[in-house]
Amino acid sequence: MADYHLLVRQLHVALVLSSGGLFAVRGLAVLAGLRSAMAAPVRYASYGIDTALLTSALMLLVILKLNPLAVPWLGVKLSLLVIYVVLGSLALKRAQHRHTRLLAYLAALACYGFMYSVARAHHPLGALLPLAN
C-alpha cells in the first residue's frame, strides 16, 4: 500500500482544493440568495467530494501509520475540521439571518485556510509559525 502514497496524497490535495472551492462558491451563492447553491446535484457533488476526501485522509493515515491523537498537527487539523463543518453548516443553511450566515461563511473560510496552513507546515501553528520564532 505504501507504493500508492504519492498518488493518494495528490488525490487528497486535489479533493481538499475541490471541497474548499465548492464551499466558497456555494457560500457566495447562498449569500446572494441563489437557490441553485442548495440544489440536489450540487449537494450530492459536495457529499461525494467530501466522502472521497475523508477516504483519502484515512488511507494516508494507514499508509503513513499515523495516529492523529499522537501527532500534534493532525490533532489540530481534526479539531479545525469539526469547527469548519459547524461553521459551514451555519453559513449554508442553519443560520437564520444573512448577517450570521456571512460571519459564519467568513469564519469557515478562515478556518479552512488555517487548516490548510497546518497541513502544509506539519505544525500546529500553521501560518502562525513564523510569529512564534
pLDDT digits (tens, 9 = 90+) for 77-108: 999 999 999 999 999 999 999 999 999 999 99
Cα 37 to Cα 88: distance, rounded to the nearest angstrom: 13
132: confidence class by pLDDT, cuts 50, 70, 90: confident
Looking at residue 105, its pLDDT comes to 98
pTM: 0.93
pLDDT digits (tens, 9 = 90+) for 23-40: 999 999 999 999 999 999
Alpha helices per DSSP H over the chain: 5-31, 40-64, 72-89, 98-121, 129-132
Q: Give me 83's grid cell.
A: 469547527
Instruction: Say if residue 2's pLDDT is above 80.
Output: no
**Residue 106: C-alpha distances to residues 25, 72, 91, 119, 131 (Å):** 12, 26, 9, 20, 23
What's the N-to-C CA distance of the chain in angstroms?
A: 38
